[in-house]
Amino acid sequence: MSGVTSTSPPSVDSPDLAALAGLLADRTRAAMCLALLDGRAWTATELARHTGVAPSTATGHLHRLVAGGLLAEERQGRHRYVRLAGPATAEMIESLASHAPLRATPVRSLRDAHRRRALAHARSCYDHLAGTVAVAITDAMTERALLAWDYGPGLTPAGRAWLRALGIADDHSGTGRAHVRSCLDWTERRHHLAGAVGAALLTHALDSGWAARRGTTRVIDLSDRGRVALREHLGLPDEVLLPPEDGG
Amino acid sequence: MSGVTSTSPPSVDSPDLAALAGLLADRTRAAMCLALLDGRAWTATELARHTGVAPSTATGHLHRLVAGGLLAEERQGRHRYVRLAGPATAEMIESLASHAPLRATPVRSLRDAHRRRALAHARSCYDHLAGTVAVAITDAMTERALLAWDYGPGLTPAGRAWLRALGIADDHSGTGRAHVRSCLDWTERRHHLAGAVGAALLTHALDSGWAARRGTTRVIDLSDRGRVALREHLGLPDEVLLPPEDGG
DNA sequence: CCGAAACTTCGGTGCGCGCCGAAGCGAACG
DNA sequence: CGTTCGCTTCGGCGCGCACCGAAGTTTCGG
């Protein structure tokens, strides 16, 4: 008796997989999390409108997601801003989404079509870059032996030097997350660079004026300077670098 | 080549996150998947008994899991064997489980306590080793510079040579999965070696008589030869190598 | 050839929960 | 200082689904 019960309780902690999956098992909550994958903070009303439910319904969902640790909230006046809890959460949702079946969703309007085309070209994927441009960057880095995939994705010594030359410090050892990770692109169905290095690359691109966020969306627009840099550094062709044509 | 075709029908495929999460959002189905993480094939009746539901209920769950692509089934006579669809599925479930909250589950019996202690010591985690021993192996390989974590987990050249010396071929380039992956241990809350290399290591241990499965469970028992090998090759101490004492 | 075992199908029951609208509350704005 | 806006709480409705037991089908064993 006393051998087991006295000091530590005889209960064993096992992962409550169903509880976590249950948070994402609802269409509305899943759409909220996918929207938040852009890495920005949304208000409750924005998410309600985006998912097409009443504000009261959105409130309930957000409460559950915050209580479950998937979302972090920040109150500012009468606004409730909500964002993903952190990179680990984003990577988990990405991983799940990349294994999920595809579902056809109708394009609602011409404006919608434009937005989707811009998103397919270049967008933020939580803290790194995704889309055609991101896949091209990843491919080019692999071709130039900056990235190696022989034993999982990893930077080569040349890759580390390349990043340093760009002014991107490779000191991410304190964050505890994988430095180089691959993220499956929904639009391209190809892998692109993620993890701490992917995040540092996007930060550098935004800071140095290579690219900019389009308003409050997750669309990333390349600047002329960014096109020059990507052409020089990685040899990306113009058909990748130029923005998508409307005429299509 | 031609990038995204712009003349295709105006519907866009987006990942149906909710559908996939819904498969794991039920306690019974989640318990089935966690049980199947041992990498073996279970019969429907075994899973029903393990999860404490009627056989008819288990049938329904297994149908949904197979239809959703998470499980693969194999019919043999009057038995329906079911197993995880593949390493990618196992890794997705592991990833999800490692982010899930912990839930206290009561220890039902003394036999249960023994089983849990053995599981915490060494067990199969789909196709690789988990538990105290697995974490110790991973730590020792890191200390001896066989594994490097500077830019995500990866084998060093010394690590590749070490594996070859053991007779483990490092030619896994055709499988398309990450060779070195880290898997968060539920019992240890520490990372251990997974991926193709982790799988090859467990296979080698079983083939060369270092360890053996205990009956039809996922418990792994080290042999004397295995203890000697791990002590010599990696310097693991006896308190890690020896089986857990009952009188703990 | 008969019984047992593994699995399946089929109704029926009950709980969980996603949804909404109405009403309340605090913050911001004129 | 009153109105508007963003968010919340509450009550109620209805669908979905997890569960079971009973009965049917196939397979294996004696």
The one-letter amino acid code at A134 reads A
In percent, the amount of chain B with pLDDT more than 70 equals 90
Q: Cβ contacts (< 8 Å) between B100 and chain A: which residues?
A: 15-17, 19-20
CA distance A165 to A144: 15
Q: By C-alpha distance, which of A171, A173, A149, A146 is closest to A159?
A: A146
Average pLDDT over every residue of A169-194? 72
Chain A residue with minimal CA distance to B179?
A151
pTM score, whole prediction? 0.86
Q: Which helix (H) or strand (E) holds A55?
A: helix A55-67
Return the SS3 of B85: coil
Look up the protein residue whose alpha carbon has the minimum distance to the C1' of D20.
B54
Q: What local confidence, expressed as pLDDT, does residue A132 receive?
A: 95
Q: Which helix (H) or strand (E) holds B148?
A: strand B147-148
Chain A residue with minimal CA distance to B94?
A17
Chain A residue with minimal CA distance to B8?
A248
**DSSP for residue A101:** P
CA distance A189 to A24: 22
Q: What local confidence, expressed as pLDDT, does residue B2 receive?
A: 44
A78 min Cα distance to partner chain B (Å): 30
Average pLDDT over every residue of A199-222? 92
Give yes or no for a contact between B39 and B86, defined as CB atoms under 8 angstroms apart.
Answer: no
Q: What local confidence, expressed as pLDDT, does residue A247 receive?
A: 47
Length of chain A: 248
Given a cut of 90, whether residue B47 has pLDDT beyond it is yes
**DSSP string for B11-58:** EEEEE-HHHHHHHHSSHHHHHHHHHHTTS--EEHHHHHHHHT--HHHH
Return the SS3 of A228: helix
CA distance B232 to B217: 28
A90-123 pLDDT per residue, tens: 989 998 998 999 888 877 778 888 888 998 999 9
Query: Which nucleotides in chain C have some atom under 7 angstroms from a protein Cβ?
Result: 5-11, 17-23, 26-28
Average pLDDT over every residue of A142-153? 81
Q: What local confidence, expressed as pLDDT, does residue B98 receive?
A: 87
CB contact residues (below 8 A), chain A span 214-233, against chain B: none
Give yes or no for a contact between B3 and A121, defined as CB atoms under 8 angstroms apart.
Answer: no
Q: By C-alpha distance, which of B81, B48, B55 is closest to B66?
A: B81
Which stretch of A143-147, A169-173, B212-216, B236-240 has the lowest confidence by average pLDDT? Answer: A169-173
CA distance A164 to B49: 57
Given a cut of 60, whether residue B144 has pLDDT beyond it is yes
Of A26, A95, A105, the CB nearest to B95: A95
N-terminal to C-terminal alpha carbon distance within chain B: 63
The one-letter amino acid code at B175 reads T
CB contact residues (below 8 A), chain B span 92-151, against chain A: 92-93, 95-107, 113, 116, 150-151
CA distance A63 to A234: 45
Q: What local confidence, expressed as pLDDT, does residue A85 receive?
A: 97
Residue B54: nearest nucleotide (C-alpha to C1'): D20
Q: What local confidence, expressed as pLDDT, does residue B151 receive?
A: 57
Higher model confidence: residue B15 or residue B169? B15
CA distance B116 to B218: 11
Average pLDDT over every residue of B128-154? 88
